Amino acid sequence: MSSTTRMRVGRYELGRTLGEGTFAKVKFARNLETGENVAIKILDKEKVLRHKIADQIKREISTMKLIRHPNVVRMFEVMASKTKIYIVLELVTGGELFDKIARQGRFKEDEARKYFQQLINAVDYCHSRGVYHRDLKPENLLLDSGGQLKVSDFGLSALPQQLQADGLLHTTCGTPNYVAPEVINNKGYDGAKADLWSCGVILFVLMAGYLPFDDSNLLSLYNKIFKADFTCPSWFSTNAKKLIKKILDPNPQTRITIAEILENEWFKKGYQPPRFETAEISLDDVNAVFSESGEAANFVVEQREERPAVMNAFELISTSQGLNLGVLFEKQMGHVKRETRFASRLSPERILSKIEEAAKPLGFKTEKQNYRMKMEGEKSGRKGHLAIATEVFEVAPSLNMVELRKTRGDTLEFHKFYKSISTGLNEIIWQAPGKIQAEGSS
């Protein structure tokens, strides 16, 4: 493969894109001084100012700086250049808890309890620091390589300064299926009580494998949430049912509290309180990263250099579930989320051409540059036009990894798109020899 541009920011070398949204992009990065792998969230200053979300971004950075807990993704440092803000985060390689549910279905009660205990530990600590997450769901719960839960994505979190005169929050946000009834009601809500409701929904999902409140009609969904109209499956233990019903109490005044959960008989089984050191944390430098006159310690210069677009072993491991590299080399037709990837022995040019051929009949415009391709649907879907980024990485001589990543639109529509084109991709997808043998012998 020919060379591509690599960027160095301060002491970090940036690698592949791990994810992207409207205002931010997250990239794999390596600390050139220590060799440590991290994730760096990159924000465009001009876009942040133009859309008047500087306060929201400052809030997210402030939140992450305040939190030091083994079950919360850690923020190491914040830097800024003239045009960008760089947030250096802990790299969590075990995937989303959502993926694990999608792969294996519901958890056994003991396993579900273990994750729920870690979630409550994290949320309780956040609340003790005056931080409310407000978008707790399995997609925002990551697993590290050892299987420990890490809460991420504080973009919708709230700090005490946002409380109004009545002592309540008044911003409706979050994901409908996980949102507490008082949040939807739009009359103000207690952030801690609302977070706890979301924890209850997550516990139900872990143990049942499906949502307690679900309906294709949003009004019907809200009615079910307002009435707490759900039924626990028969395999839930009696004590688990009792606890879930106390958490999913539509009246926030009578809903169980975290302090009461910590004393609950079902919750306490096998419980191990987290061990970690607390530290006083200053927020003095947060404003500096938004200013061109930032302090020298936080101000960095972007350096670009030409390097081969080769994916090294560390980046390869970061794309897999923990250290299971087999995930990358298996045909992943049945499991697609915000991104999917496969291996191929064809040339990058041939790979992109085949994907382009498969996408065009489905009404997608394509734009190729080097070994990347952007695709955008001509028709608007549930969340606007579906946009997909495709990139080819060299893993080894004559072996490439291909990644298709949703950059805009609806995840379910991305899933349908991939299923539609997958037949046309059969000839370019390579599977690990062990996997092929297993299929041939069955």
pLDDT per residue over 274-316, tens digit each? 887 766 776 666 667 755 554 545 677 777 654 435 555 545 5
Kindly report, residue by residue over 90-100, the tens digit of the pLDDT. Answer: 898 888 888 88
Token pair of 107, please?
């958890």
Q: Contact 291/78 with Cβ under 8 angstroms?
A: no
Task: Give domain 97-268's CATH superfamily.
Answer: Transferase(Phosphotransferase) domain 1 (1.10.510.10)
- Count CA atoms closer than 13 A to 98's CA, side-chain side: 14
Average pLDDT over residues 411-431: 83
pLDDT digits (tens, 9 = 90+) for 107-132: 999 999 999 999 999 999 888 877 88
One CATH from 1.20.58.2030, 3.40.50.2020, 3.30.310.80, 1.10.3720.10 for 324-441: 3.30.310.80
Read off the pLDDT of each residue in 3-28 and give the average, rounded to a whole number. 78
> What count of residues does the chain have?
442
Boundaries of CATH 1.10.510.10 in the chain? 97-268
Which residues 6+ apart lie within 8 Å of 344 measured at CB?
A: 351, 399, 400, 402, 428, 429, 430
Q: Which residue spans of the chain are classified as CATH 3.30.310.80? A: 324-441
Helix, strand, coil shares of the chain as percentages rounded to 5?
35, 25, 35
For residue 172, pLDDT over 50 is answered with: no
Verify whether residue 166 is a known catalytic residue.
no
- Give CATH superfamily name and number for 6-91: Phosphorylase Kinase; domain 1 (3.30.200.20)
Output the pLDDT for position 315. Answer: 55
Q: Is the pLDDT of residue 164 over 70?
A: no
**Residue ranges, CATH 3.30.200.20, the chain:** 6-91
Residue 187 known to bind ligand? no
Minimum mean pLDDT among 113-127, 357-371, 394-408: which range?
A: 394-408
pLDDT in tens, 321-339: 443 444 444 444 344 467 7
> What pLDDT was estimated at residue 129?
78
Of 99, 124, 135, 190, the active-site residue reads 135
